[in-house]
A = this chain, B = another copy of it.
Amino acid sequence: MSSPKKPRADAERNRLRLLAAARKAFGEGDEPVTLERVAREAGVGIGTLYRHFPTREALVEALYRDELAQVVASAPKLIESEKPLRALRRWMDRFAEYASTKHDMADTLRAIIEAGTVDMTQVRAELTEAVQLIMDAGVEDGTLRADVRAQDVVVTVVGACSMRTLPGGPEQLDRMLDLILAGVRQPPS
């Protein structure tokens, strides 16, 4: 059930080296990470990098998959400690903080949303599920609208977060998230 193929030892070793080198390179605050540098730093050829990670996004995704999983996992916790509306807002904040810190990740998330790759769809589905969870709670207690799809919220939020430098400064993103949140809110009719 779990071993589709026999992996070669050197392949796995190189994969790990690449991830380590990438983590280091993307970690350093300053600027643009060239994949050639990552490969060199890992002591492998550029071809090897591309075989393991066919696109830049694939590499970044592998790098941050863990942290993203934590963001996803925070959703159920937030529901327990907060009312749905506030939980959703806090989740957005968490996501936004994450996406803007590692702003390489923001681009990658865009790509993930857009692309049709399989394991990309996976990440997208996880995010949607997290939001769905909160929204279900909100629908149940009547504070959130029932006719809004979680996926639409996710895509809109990703779109908002993927704008690099906002003209209105960092607080603008906050207001934009508020705007989206207001759209999900059940009007007191």
Contact = CB atoms under 8 A, between A and B. Distances in A.
Interface of A: 110, 113-114, 116, 121, 124, 145, 148-149, 151-153, 155-156, 158-160, 162-168, 172, 175-176, 178-185, 187-189
Nearest to A181: B183
A179 B183 contact: yes
A179 to B, nearest CB: 4
Contact of A156 (B124, B151, B156): B156
29 contacts: A114-B163, A114-B164, A114-B165, A114-B166, A124-B167, A148-B175, A148-B179, A149-B168, A151-B167, A152-B172, A152-B175, A152-B176, A155-B160, A155-B163, A155-B168, A156-B159, A156-B160, A156-B176, A156-B179, A159-B162, A159-B176, A178-B183, A179-B180, A180-B180, A180-B183, A181-B183, A182-B184, A183-B183, A188-B188
Copies of this polypeptide in the complex: 2
A82 to B, nearest CB: 20
Contacts of A183: 178-183
A114 B168 CA distance: 10
B172 A155 contact: yes
A151 to B, nearest CB: 6
A163 B110 contact: yes
A14 to B, nearest CB: 32
Contacts of A178: 183
Contacts of A179: 148, 152-153, 156, 180, 183-184
